[in-house]
Amino acid sequence: MPALRRPPGPKGHFLLGNLPELGTDILGLFASCARDYGDVAFLSLAGWPAYVLSAPKDIEQVLVTDHKNFIKHTFFWRHVRGIFGNGLLTSEGEFWLRQRRLAQPSFHRDRIAAYGDVMTRPLILNGALAKSGTSRSYWTDPTLPPAVSCAATRS
């Protein structure tokens, strides 16, 4: 039986592995892993192996379909819990299932569609402000976001 090969990934520091990149630009690291290495990339976190999954089908398999086969209670996750808290990403078992069921309604098709309106409304407002010639901006004027929120709840 041939030995399993690990997927490609960024080289990293000989001792710290990819921890420096993870600490300075986690999203950039994950984006470059997906771009440069494909759906699965290998990271070394100070000698601890880690995998970056970029394909939605793989993420669903790990987090939903086969979640019981992927144990999170390792040295890494015990320390990461301080950063991410004890939510879906870091929990397991019955607690994970309870958290997942609580969050699931937020991802219903109708709810996702409603989020689009809430997210585009500030862009539309900012465009209208720019066309009016005012120096106010949704992004920098602290009085505008509450007004937008109030307008959003009235429609």
Cα–Cα distance between 53 and 66 in angstroms, integer?
14
Cβ neighbours of 117 (radius 10 Å): 11
Residue 6 structure tokens: 């690990």
Q: Range of 78's domain? A: 71-106
Count of residues making up the chain: 155
- pLDDT at residue 46 greater than cutoff 80: yes
Which 3 state secondary structure label does DSSP give 98?
A: helix
99 lies in the same domain as 129: no
Count of domains forming the chain: 3
pTM of the model: 0.57
Per-residue confidence (pLDDT) for residue 44, from 0 to 100: 93
Same domain? For 80 and 92 the reply is yes
Residues 55 and 90 in one domain: no
pLDDT at 155: 38
What's the CA gap between 9 and 37, in Å, rounded? Answer: 6
Quick: pLDDT tens for 125-154. 777 767 777 666 655 665 555 555 444 443
Same domain, residue pair 18 and 81 = no
Work out the widest C-alpha separation in the chain, in whole angstroms: 70
Q: What are the tens digits of pLDDT across the range 58-113?
A: 999 988 899 888 877 676 677 777 777 888 878 888 888 898 899 899 888 888 88
Of 151, 116, 123, 149, whose CA–CA distance to 137 is shortest? 123
Point out which residues pair with 51 in neighbouring strands. 42
Whether 5 and 57 map to the same domain: the answer is yes
What pLDDT score does 150 carry? Answer: 45
Q: Which pLDDT score, from 0 to 100, does residue 1 have?
A: 63
Mean pLDDT of 11-39: 92
Same-domain pairing of 37 and 99: no
97 shares its domain with 40:
no
Q: How far apart are the first and last CA of the chain?
A: 63
Of 100, 109, 41, nearest to 65 (Cα)?
100
